[in-house]
Amino acid sequence: MVTIQTVRSNNAALKDLGPGLVAVFVGGTSGIGLSTARAFVKNTTAPRVYLVGRNQEEATKITQEFDKINPESKTTFVKADLSLLRNVDKACSEIQAREPKVNLLFMTAGYFTTKGREETAEGLDRKFSLHYYARWRFAQNLLPQLTAAGTSTPLSRVVSVLDPNIRTGLVLDDLSLKTHFTLGNCAAHACAFNDFAVETMAAANPNTAFVHAFPGLVNTGLARTFGPVLRVGVGILMTVLKPFMVPLPESGERHLYAATSQTYPPKAKAGEGAALGSDGVKGSGAYWLSWNGERMENERLKGYRAQALGKTVWAHTQEVFDKIRGTEGGKY
């Protein structure tokens, strides 16, 4: 376990990286994304922060808060419904017009639902799109900026927060879950696809590190969006689970560590202190991490890796992107 003292020591030293670090927080106006952005602003010199989300009112409050935490910081809100890839592309274009380099892409976009499949205008399930397709469209779009940072600065990293562990098998003949959607299948596919994306992107981009991180149990305030009955039930559950939960501020600190520590370097910059990557190779550039910074393993994923399923999933991902964004009004 990475101690909180180690985490805080790493974060406090981020000022040594120099001024002007650029970070993009996808889903950064609440929960873990916001907590991590707050820690980033607090611990860096003259950072430029992009918060991508839907809540303009909340973003205005956050910007004012960040200005007080670090008067040298600059926070920009990019408003977008990220369940649609066309909106992801628009948000990325807005960032790219301002920034030649991006040091950190931190992604927590998602939402809780008890409903079944909710198909978007682009033919994807809304939850699945937010947890996987939209995130990696962001990463793919911003690769030029991430690569520029990786070749000229000490930090270039992509972090997707979900869960590297999968607990059920995948539906291999329906990867997008068009006809086999359940919440369980959606969770398994989104988690596994993030795992594969981290490994695929790290192999192709040796100057950028890629992390898939599990946050543990964190009270992100999600219950405020529920109805009164469910909100009471969740409140009781949170009280029972409190001794086992990671406080939200600590979660932000720990995720900032995962996003910046040289323990998880890009493949091209792996040193003696590098952690084992997801494939068991030291400093591979792809990392599956638990809430406490330790490496996560997944026996089921090992079997899928042996089948080269990562290549199949990435080819599927590109097919989805091409069909939706290849033509105006495209649909998968």
Per-residue pLDDT of the chain (332 residues; tens, 9 = 90+): 999 999 999 999 999 999 999 999 999 999 999 999 999 999 999 999 999 999 999 999 999 999 999 999 999 999 999 999 999 999 999 999 999 999 999 999 998 888 899 999 999 999 999 999 999 999 999 999 999 999 999 999 999 999 999 888 999 999 999 999 999 999 999 999 999 999 999 999 999 999 999 999 887 765 555 556 555 555 665 566 666 679 999 999 999 999 999 999 999 999 889 999 999 999 999 999 999 999 998 888 888 988 999 999 999 999 999 999 987 778 99
What percent helix, strand, coil does the chain show, rounded to 5? 50, 10, 40
Q: Where are the domains of the chain?
A: 4-324
- Pairing relationship of beta strands 209-213 and 74-79 according to DSSP bridges: unpaired
Query: Considering only CA atoms, which of 164, 139, 174, 179 is closest in space to residue 312?
Result: 174
Six-digit token string for 230: 């469910």
Six-digit token string for 67: 């200005």
- Pairing relationship of beta strands 74-79 and 48-53 according to DSSP bridges: parallel
* Total Cβ atoms within 10 A of residue 21: 25
d(C-alpha 101, C-alpha 251), whole Å: 26
Please state the pTM of the whole predicted model: 0.94
What's the pLDDT score for residue 326?
85
Give the DSSP H or E segment for 50.
strand 48-53
Find out whether 129 and 186 touch, Cβ atoms under 8 Å. no
Please classify residue 326 by burial: count the beta carbons closer than 10 Å to its beta carbon, then call 0-12 exposed, 13-18 middle and 19+ buried: exposed
Give the DSSP H or E segment for 77.
strand 74-79
Looking at residue 227, its amino acid is G
Six-digit token string for 93: 């274009």
4-324: CATH class? alpha beta
Query: Considering only CA atoms, which of 14, 54, 22, 62 is closest in space to residue 38?
Result: 62
At which residue do the structure tokens 């695929």 appear? 200
* Total Cβ atoms within 10 A of residue 143: 18
